[in-house]
């Protein structure tokens, strides 16, 4: 199974990161995605991606939509993407976003039964989006990094079952990882239906199957495993135009350490590269993936401000402004911490918190997405209830 990793998108040698206060210019290591020009007429200027995994993205004139934590709930995922205008209705799984740039903020894994199906769907949409002049980007969250570390505490029984089915499916399609992975969303639906025969949880077969599920998940998600290599394609910090996206939150010492450096180290770790494979892979990516103030775990900007005094709020605002200045961004978008009142912005709307706990394994709340258009941001809660949209904030 490890050989399947080689068929995922190869990562070229990393470049020196550009000055964070400036938009990156194309270089030999930058990926100019000319395939984003569609066949339906003239498109906007091409999307230019710098860094592997993608770190800095120039997407001139594009509408951007951001979606928070999904946690294995495929139905809610589809609902959010349809509401964002990038997914066809009725389960056809067709990209309808044109030149839109879709960004998903991590935590696809755990708490739900369709984790791999969501990853597969997003990859399929990315392929389709490129033909239209759009793109799909993902950032990894704490639950992605936990699973690569082998921490399966939050995996549902259905999640283990999906891993068993997916591993067997890969054995039958070992010659083409790309085709197999992109096609999984459709295949998994029927396999899931076949599993719906009622059984007692403590039935011996169930216990054996759970053990098989743990083994299958370990094979898929251990560093160098096929799904870990798929996750390695994605950043932990992504800057698109004047906006920076991450799961938990970026702070000044992360920027000082190096945004592209963090992305590269997490990617190398997920791909199972050792010091003998890559001379610039010095250690486990602690600053990005472990600790309360790491990129994927940080909740500094997501706390309820009503519980903080003025001094604390001013301190947090100061840290946020310092971070944004250092990274050359006007605002930050984060997930990770469910917002029980819905997606919102704080600190003069320089931080947007868009995890609404939409998964049935979390709060089962109605999906919400953030739309950024012409540097104006709004929350889309429901096409049928436009009065519930948030204010439009102009950053120009």
pLDDT in tens, 239-252: 999 999 999 999 99
pLDDT in tens, 75-113: 999 999 999 999 999 778 999 999 999 999 999 999 999
CA dihedral of residues 161, 167, 169, 171 (deg, nearest 10):
-150
Stretch 194-208: mean pLDDT:
66
- Tokens encoding 89: 């209705």
Q: What's residue 367's pLDDT? A: 97
pLDDT at 21 over 60: no
Number of CB atoms found within 10 A of residue 211's CB? 11
Q: What's residue 193's pLDDT? A: 79
Residue 66, phi then psi, degrees to nearest 5 = -120, 135
**What structural domains and CATH numbers belong to the chain?**
48-381 (3.60.21.10)
Q: What's residue 205's pLDDT? A: 60
pLDDT in tens, 101-147: 999 999 999 999 999 999 999 999 999 999 999 999 999 999 999 99
**CA–CA dist 264, 145 (Å, integer):** 14
Stretch 187-213: mean pLDDT:
76
When mean pLDDT is compared across 37-46, 179-188, 321-330, the lowest value belongs to: 37-46
Annotated catalytic residues are 143
Fill in the DSSP letter of residue 87. B
Residue 74, phi then psi, degrees to nearest 5 = -70, -35
Q: Where are the beta strands (DSSP E) in the chain?
A: 31-32, 48-50, 56-58, 64-67, 101-104, 135-138, 237-240, 243-246, 331-334, 344-346, 351-353, 369-373, 376-380, 393-394
Write the DSSP assignment of 139-208 as a string of letters.
B--HHHHHHHTT--TT--HHHHHHHHHHHHHHHHTTT-HHHHHHTHHHHHHHHHHHT-S---TT-HHHHH
Stretch 345-371: mean pLDDT:
97
Q: What's residue 210's pLDDT? A: 87
Residue 372, phi then psi, degrees to nearest 5 = -120, 120
pLDDT at 385 over 70: no
- For the chain, give the number of residues: 396
């Amino acid at each position: 199974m490890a050989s399947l990793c080689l068929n995922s998108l190869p990562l070229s040698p990393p470049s020196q990161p550009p000055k964070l206060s400036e938009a990156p210019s194309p270089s030999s290591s930058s990926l100019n995605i000319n395939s984003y020009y569609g066949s339906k007429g003239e498109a906007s200027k091409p999307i230019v991606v710098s860094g592997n995994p993608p770190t800095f993205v120039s997407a001139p004139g594009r509408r951007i939509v951001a979606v928070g934590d999904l946690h294995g709930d495929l139905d809610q995922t589809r609902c959010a993407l349809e509401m964002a205008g990038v997914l066809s209705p009725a389960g056809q799984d067709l990209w309808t976003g044109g030149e839109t740039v879709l960004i998903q903020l991590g935590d696809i894994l755990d708490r739900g039964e369709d984790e791999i199906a969501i990853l597969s769907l997003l990859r399929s949409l990315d392929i389709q989006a490129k033909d239209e002049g759009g793109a799909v980007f993902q950032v990894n969250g704490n639950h992605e990094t936990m699973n690569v570390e082998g921490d399966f505490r939050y995996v549902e029984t259905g999640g283990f079952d999906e891993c068993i089915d997916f591993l067997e499916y890969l054995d039958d399609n070992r010659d083409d990882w790309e085709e197999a992975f992109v096609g999984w969303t459709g295949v998994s639906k029927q396999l899931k239906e076949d599993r719906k025969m009622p059984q007692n949880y403590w039935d011996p077969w169930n216990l054996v199957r759970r053990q098989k599920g743990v083994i299958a998940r370990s094979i898929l998600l251990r560093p160098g495993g096929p799904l870990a290599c798929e996750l390695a394609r994605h950043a932990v910090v992504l800057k698109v135009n004047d906006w920076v996206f991450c799961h938990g939150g970026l702070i000044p010492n992360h920027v000082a350490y190096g945004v592209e450096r963090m992305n590269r180290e997490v990617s190398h770790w997920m791909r199972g590269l050792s010091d003998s494979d890559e001379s610039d892979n010095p250690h486990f990516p602690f600053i990005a993936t472990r600790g309360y103030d790491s990129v994927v775990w940080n909740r500094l900007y997501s706390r309820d401000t009503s519980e903080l005094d003025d001094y604390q709020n001013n301190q947090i605002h100061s840290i946020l402004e310092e971070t944004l200045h250092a990274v050359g961004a006007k605002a930050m978008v984060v997930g990770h911490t469910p917002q029980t009142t819905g997606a919102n912005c704080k600190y003069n709307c320089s931080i947007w918190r868009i995890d609404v706990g939409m998964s049935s394994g979390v709060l089962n709340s109605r999906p919400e997405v953030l739309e950024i258009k012409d540097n104006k941001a709004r929350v889309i809660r429901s096409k049928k209830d436009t009065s519930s949209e948030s204010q439009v904030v102009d950053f120009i």
